Every structure is written in structure tokens, then in C-alpha cells.
Amino acid sequence: MITEKKGFSINGYIAALLLPLMHFGLFLLFASQIVLLQVIAVIGTLLTALSWLGFFMVQPNQGKVMTLFGSYVGTVKTNGLRWTIPFFIRKTLSMRVRNFESSQIKVNDKLGNPIEIAAIVVWSVTDTAEAVFEVEDYENYVTIQSESALRNLASSYAYDPQDTNEISLLSHPSEIASQLKIEIQERLGQAGVTVQEARISHLAYAQEIASAMLQRQQATAIIAARSKIVEGAVGMVEMALERLKEQNVVELDEERKAAMVSNLLVVLCGDKATQPVVNTGTIY
């Protein structure tokens, strides 16, 4: 595996000052009457003129991957005007943080229910050599492998939790995002890419079962709400009977207690307002 290493380069401004001085020195050398020195001056002038092709610019968060006759010789990340050997072929690579949103893919969750899911992945290139030489097209590689990891993650968890302790796609977004980031990073590590963040951007049942699942969710919510209401009503009735007994407000036999409990439960658990009935006669 080819890993990143520092490439040779010097400050471009220094090189821009040295090259004219070299041209001037070679001109003086050529002005002499010695043939050998004139030949050296001509060759030196050609090489110095060629050296002007060695200048290049490096922007912030940018790398220049350099090769020489097919061999990797290093990467330059120092910002500003730089100079290197003009025979080096330089390829610009952005190291800025990028993000993309995957397309909505349809996949079966852990329970076999078809769902639609999409994700946003934030990533950046951290090893320029691996990004250029280990994969054919690192940007396309990031897209395909991220969607593959998302598909695998969606099939490993259920959309809805079956119990309170189970991790699901809907109820545990933080845990799912962390796991998604780990899976994507494992796939993109060999491409010199670091995943900064990964999170679910779209999650829903597929259209063919969406209405049925909505009815199930509504029924589950109604049952949970009713259970909570009944639990609270029973506690209130129990408290009312205890208070009546403690303060000796009225003595009730078992039949009257049962009637009172029934009436209170109807009032407390009913989903509509009740109409009171006033009894002006004796309770016996």
C-alpha cells in the first residue's frame, strides 16, 4: 500500500530570486572567450529556463501529489508559491471537508419490513497518496461504499423498537449515527478518507406498507395512553377511598364502594365529558 510522504519543494519566492541571478551568471560565463565555458553556459541556460516550469501554487487545505516517471515521490501541502524539480508531474487534490447526501434507497429492516432510508456523510481526504493510487476514483468510491454501508446498517436494525431496551433506527438516532460512521470508515480507510460525521437524513416505511404501519403505530399509541390513564385513575380512586376512611366523612359498605369505584373510573377514564346525576334521596 502506498502511503503519503513529504515531497521535495522550496519556497517559490526564493527560487524566483535565484533563477534570474543564475541567468545573469551564465550570461557572464557565455561572454568569456573559452569554448568549454560557453558550452557549459548554453547547457546551464537551457536547464535554468526549464527550471521556470517548476513553480506551482498550493492553496489552503490542498495537496500536490507528485510523481516522476510513474513513481510516487511525495506530496506538498505547504501553502503558497513553491518550486520543485520541473520533471515532477503534479496532481492537485483537495483536502477540504466535503459532504454529500445519499439517494433514498429501499431496503428491508431486521424484521423484513421495507423502509426508505438516506444518509448525510461528511468526509475529507487525509492521505493523498492512498486517495490517488489505491482507488480508481476516490469520490465515486466514497459514494458507493457509503450507500453500501447504509444498506447493511438498515438491515441490521429494526425500524421500530420491539422492547424498550432494543436499539432501533427510529428510537436511537445517536447510536445509529455512531455505528454508521464506524461502518463507513472501515470501508473508506484504504482510500485515504476520514469520515467526520454520518447521520440519517431520511427514514420512513416504504409506500406499500406505510398506511398499515401508521395504523399500527396509532393503535400502539392509543393503548399506551389508555394504560397510563387507567393506572392514574386507579391510583386516584384508591387515594379517594383512603382519604374518606381517614377523615370519617362517610361509611361505605362494599356495595357502595364498588359503585363509587365504578363511577369514578367512568369519569376519569372516559374520553368524553360525563353528565353528573344528582341523587337527592337517601343512600339506603
Measured CA distances, 43 to 35, 47, 269 (Å): 12, 6, 102
Task: Name residue 122's beta-bridge partners.
Answer: 99, 197
Q: Residue-wise pLDDT tens for the chain (284 aa)? A: 788 899 999 998 999 899 888 877 877 776 777 777 777 777 888 888 888 999 999 999 999 999 999 899 999 999 999 999 999 999 999 999 999 898 888 888 888 888 889 999 999 999 999 999 999 899 999 999 999 999 999 998 888 776 667 888 888 889 999 999 999 999 998 899 999 999 999 988 877 655 655 666 665 666 666 677 677 767 777 777 777 667 666 666 666 667 666 766 666 566 555 556 655 555 55
Q: What is the amino acid identity at position 182?
A: I
209 is written with which cell numbers? 406498507
Calpha distance 168→117 (Å, rounded): 13
Q: Look at residue 148 in the predicted model and tell me its pLDDT.
A: 92
Backbone angles phi, psi at 131, to 5 degrees: -65, -35
Three-class secondary structure of residue 113 per DSSP = coil
Measured CA distances, 246 to 236, 253, 263 (Å): 15, 15, 21
Calpha distance 195→189 (Å, rounded): 9
Q: How many residues belong to the chain?
A: 284
Calpha distance 177→115 (Å, rounded): 17
Among 88, 78, 95, 79, which Cα is nearest to 132's? 95
Q: Look at residue 178 in the predicted model and tell me its pLDDT.
A: 93
* pTM, full prediction: 0.69
Its CATH architecture, for the domain 98-205, is 2-Layer Sandwich (3.30)
Q: Look at residue 14 in the predicted model and tell me its pLDDT.
A: 92
Angle at 94 between CA 91 and CA 99, to 5 degrees: 145
Domain edges within the chain: 10-91, 98-205, 210-269
Q: What is the amino acid identity at position 198?
A: A
Q: Look at residue 226 in the predicted model and tell me its pLDDT.
A: 66
> For the chain, how are helix, strand and coil distributed in percent, rounded to 5?
50, 25, 30
Q: Look at residue 248 in the predicted model and tell me its pLDDT.
A: 67
Calpha distance 39→270 (Å, rounded): 109
247 is written with which cell numbers? 377523615
Q: Look at residue 223 in the predicted model and tell me its pLDDT.
A: 66
Measured CA distances, 189 to 6, 88, 100, 193, 232 (Å): 20, 27, 18, 6, 54
